[in-house]
Structure 1
């Protein structure tokens, strides 16, 4: 069924869902969920839009039943971590290519898809300030590099001052209809051509949530991207064990506190899968501090 013109803003999320149908059904599910929720706000009354959205709802219900045994579908915290990990994996791959001066369609696609997936995170609640900045930077970088290559210019590598008008709500779809491939978190970038990406298999989500960016050409972007302000402490290392508050028997923990602690522990476990000890320790320390003091 063709997408009604009124719902054009959700086309890239639906395309991303289709691209991940086999590679990562969880990503496909949440992209469609975000598209459905956004579409309802855009136009749920026009007959063609209503018909399209009802069909999308049916598809979501079917996917939910098929994946009922997936923790990422049945548990919101796990689903949130899955999408966030995946989005930042793509972001870090693209940023690494950018800093190395390796400009190509696959890295542009990775930047842009990561920005779309950070949009999708809003189905779980309000985005963190850090993810808002990552989304803005990724979308702007994708647009900037795409336009440079299109005009035969050499893009400037690495973090740089952003043109406030450079961020695009809708990226040029013509050159970006192929599936995305984020590359691995630590391994070499994909060797396949952009048009052959649908024949490759994705290595799965990588860690990156709660990471503390390190300087250098291979690390994630600097904390402020030159002119984007990130609140103090957003990238600050967690307290060391010596700085943790002593256990307090009278600490009252809310259900939200327990959810946050579970999320931090999951991030730590994800980091350990990639032997990222530093990120694992930081997230475990944050969880411990929260449980001991009731404060993040």
Structure 2
């Protein structure tokens, strides 16, 4: 594959290394994740340095790789349709995030949890390739980075971390120390197709202001049982139209949003995630029936 021809990340673009590493981990496992991590890395790299010879060589090589991936995965809708791609990447990031959160709340503290929290935060970053992040994703990203640094520091000091959000976390870390925000339509029981998050031993680059997690943890398996997370499996009944004649004035934005929910449902079915698919389809139906989310 074209990824083999990508040179090492130059020093001036070292902030991109973790996204490139995640992309490499997923080349065989999940090319959609791989594709959008590389695309985000290119977009960020162009902002950092697009003029030096080393940076240009690296960025052009990654762009060539992206073009090759488009051809190689011509039949993969998530690579060519950004609505589907965004749903796929967001669901994948949330699964990793919820795995780490479930382990943390069960007081199973180890290097795998640190790496999972941090990897989820990187994938939340990559979602910016689709535009501005929602407030929920921003909060979860901040919480994941804080938890990764906090648990790592506690383990390093030989201390036992506090499971879940801290009661006084707002004083310590603002709103990010509070409970993570997970979409109500997202399942608490995580059963993705892929048995592991990734097996790379690559170093992780931590943004300023946090402490680096260990560089060689083993990735956790996601196919084992996990405890219920912060969201609920309850599926509400469909909402009937408020207009007796069924006439609802829908805007173009309403149609786009309904299509997004349908794409999310399709992405969930790729993971055999029936509750999430049903929830998203019901949200689309509710919007089409009532004109309200």
TM-score range, shorter chain: 0.7 to 0.9
Q: C-alpha separation between the residues in 1 aligned to 2:132 and 2:55?
A: 26
Q: C-alpha separation between the residues in 1 aligned to 2:101 and 2:285?
A: 31
CA RMSD of aligned residues (A): 2.9
Q: Does 1:253 align with 2:251?
A: yes
Q: C-alpha separation between the residues in 2 aligned to 1:72 and 1:179?
A: 28
1:74-113 alignment, distance < 5 Å: 74-113=80-119
User: Secondary structure of the residue that 2:29 maps to in structure 1?
Assistant: coil
Q: C-alpha separation between the residues in 2 aligned to 1:159 and 1:150?
A: 20
TM-score normalised by structure 2 residue count: 0.75
Q: C-alpha separation between the residues in 2 aligned to 1:102 and 1:179?
A: 15
Q: Deviations over 1:184-232 (max 9, x none)?
A: 4xx426xxxxxxxxxxxxxxxxxxxxxxxxxxx73227xxxxxxxxxxx
The answer as to whether partners of 1:121 and 1:127 remain within 8 angstroms in 2 is yes
Structure 2 gaps of 5+ residues are: 1-6, 178-205
Structure 1 residues 289 and 125, CA, compared in 2 at 3 Å: closer, same or farther?
same
Tell me by how many angstroms 1:99 deviates: 0.6
Structure 1 residues 250 and 24, CA, compared in 2 at 3 Å: closer, same or farther?
closer
The answer as to whether partners of 1:77 and 1:259 remain within 8 angstroms in 2 is no
Q: Does 1:164 align with 2:168?
A: no
Tell me by how many angstroms 1:29 deviates: 0.9
Q: C-alpha separation between the residues in 2 aligned to 1:263 and 1:177?
A: 37
User: Secondary structure of the residue that 1:164 maps to in structure 2?
Assistant: helix
Tell me by how many angstroms 1:177 deviates: 5.1
Partner of 2:222: 183
TM-score normalised by structure 1 residue count: 0.74
Alignment partner for residue 287 of structure 2, among 285, 290, 293?
290
Q: Deviations over 1:211-263 (max 9, x none)?
A: xxxxxx73227xxxxxxxxxxxxx9x998545643365362431x43332122
Q: C-alpha separation between the residues in 1 aligned to 2:221 and 2:141?
A: 15
Q: C-alpha separation between the residues in 1 aligned to 2:54 and 2:83?
A: 34
Tell me by how many angstroms 1:26 deviates: 1.2
Alignment partner for residue 220 of structure 1, among 202, 212, 230?
230
Structure 1 residues 124 and 181, CA, compared in 2 at 3 Å: closer, same or farther?
farther
Partner of 1:11: 17
Partner of 2:75: 69
Tell me by how many angstroms 1:2 deviates: 2.9
Structure 1 gaps of 5+ residues are: 190-216, 222-234
Tell me by how many angstroms 1:275 deviates: 4.2
Q: C-alpha separation between the residues in 2 aligned to 1:182 and 1:110?
A: 11
